[in-house]
Amino acid sequence: MQATPAVPPRFAALRHRNFALLWVGVIVSNVGTWMQNVGQSWLVLQLTNSPLWLGLLGLSFAVPMVILPLIGGAVADRVHRVRLLYVTQTGQMLLAFLLAGLTWLHLVTVWPILLTSFLGATLLAFDNPARQALVYDLVPPHDLLNALSLNAATYTGAALVGPALAGLMLAPFGAGALFFVNGVSFVAVLIALAAMREVRSRGSAAAASLGKTVGAGLAYAWKTRYVLGLLVLSGLAAIFGRSYQSLLPIFARDIWMAGPAGYGLLLAAAGAGALVGAFGLAALGQAKRHGSTMVVSGLSFGVLLILFALSPSFAPGLALLFLAGVAATVFTTVISTQLQLTSPHELRGRVMSLYAITLIGLPSLGDLGAGALAENLGGLQGAPEAVLIGGAVMGAAILAAAPGLLRRPQ
């Protein structure tokens, strides 16, 4: 495990303050992001009435988030991370305002939605590795699991509030209002970044060409078996597990007849579970037996998705998504913690960029597969079978990896 220099006590309080500022700003922003996600998915479904187009919406997000994060991580290891976040957050804010304006002017079609999704993901490919690597610079190593648990809640936990608000606002105010609120929410992060003080946020990568910098990150991940295994597990969970969210509008509108409010509640249930999982891990502190925790939480996630797909009505589906949110957050947070602790400081941005591909890019790529599978299994009515198959594949992958995870020293 990578040794870390001691932090002078006089900086400890300042580091925790900086982390708190970033956490509050990001969770406010992510509430807006979830609201925009609800608006985009619902608007695409209304415009096309096709699960395949929901998959293409995911693909428009996935392509940049699969191709670019490693470059984003290399940049994050070479530049001042806080300044990089200023650029990416401002760009995402302007895209949200643009989409709101197009919607209010009745100029929006499916193509501007896909384009803004693509451009937003391009910015996120630089934003996420910088923000993930920055966490290590804001808290002492012994607080890293707690901090990463709280950091996980900034996105998945915001789903407790964002989708519920979006479901309430969608019918009376329209999708344009959701896009505008998202644009305003980025101001919270910009204020937090401006208020941070004395942050060591520049990576220490050696001066080299961008290609060599990227190659060094790939080589480290490929040669370090444990890191590679964690990334593969995260990727499989993303493609076959977490892509279920792209089909939730169909569950709400066509399977259980719950409408836009029901769609918001389904996302909120998963977000509530994620929040419980994140704060539960944070309360536990330095968890032991990481391998067994990953096996139990990952297998539970797969089984809960199968049960969700088989659920006969809306209420049991809500409860199952809540539990799935708990399991998914525990699984991904333990993986993130192990990657942060294992990686050298000069490579951390690049390793976390690979993790960002699995965490954010691959679920969106999985959206296309889930949408196409549902289309082939009966169109709108094929959504439950597509989710069931994904949950089964994920569970099988965790069982296959279990012996190696359980044998690793804790």
Lowest mean pLDDT among 76-85, 154-163, 325-334: 154-163
| Residue 260: burial class (beta carbons within 10 Å; 0-12, 13-18, 19+) | buried
Q: What is the pLDDT of residue 351?
A: 85
What are the domain boundaries of the chain? 9-197+209-407
Pick 72 or 120 by higher pLDDT.
120
Q: What is the pLDDT of residue 305?
A: 95
Q: What is the pLDDT of residue 9?
A: 44
Pick 171 or 99 by higher pLDDT.
99
CATH top class, domain 9-197+209-407: mainly alpha
The enclosing H or E element of 279 equals: helix 259-284
Q: What is the pLDDT of residue 10?
A: 42
Under 8 Å between Cβ of 371 and 55: yes
Residue 5: pLDDT above 70?
A: no
DSSP summary character for residue 381: G
The tens digit of pLDDT for each residue in 21-52 reads 888 888 888 889 989 988 998 899 888 888 88
CA atoms of 182 and 180, how far apart (whole Å): 5
Q: What is the pLDDT of residue 32?
A: 92
HSE-CB of 37 using CA atoms within 13 angstroms: 27
Residue 60: pLDDT above 80?
A: yes
Residue 387: pLDDT above 90?
A: yes
Under 8 Å between Cβ of 128 and 351: no
Q: What would the two tokens of residue 229 be? A: 């295994």
The set of residues, in sequence order, having a beta carbon less than 8 Å from that of 183 and lying 6+ positions away, is 32, 93, 94, 96, 97, 100
pLDDT mean over 282-297: 74
Q: What is the pLDDT of residue 179?
A: 96
The tens digit of pLDDT for each residue in 169-199 reads 888 898 999 999 999 999 999 998 888 876 6
**pLDDT level of residue 324 (50, 70, 90 thresholds):** very high
Residue 352: pLDDT above 90?
A: no
Under 8 Å between Cβ of 294 and 288: no
Q: What is the pLDDT of residue 11?
A: 41
- If you search the block for the tokens 């979006």, which residue do you land on? 166
pLDDT mean over 250-270: 85
Residue 6: pLDDT above 70?
A: no
Q: What is the pLDDT of residue 208?
A: 60
- Average model confidence (pLDDT) across the chain: 83
CA atoms of 395 and 302, how far apart (whole Å): 5
**pLDDT level of residue 207 (50, 70, 90 thresholds):** low
pLDDT mean over 331-347: 83
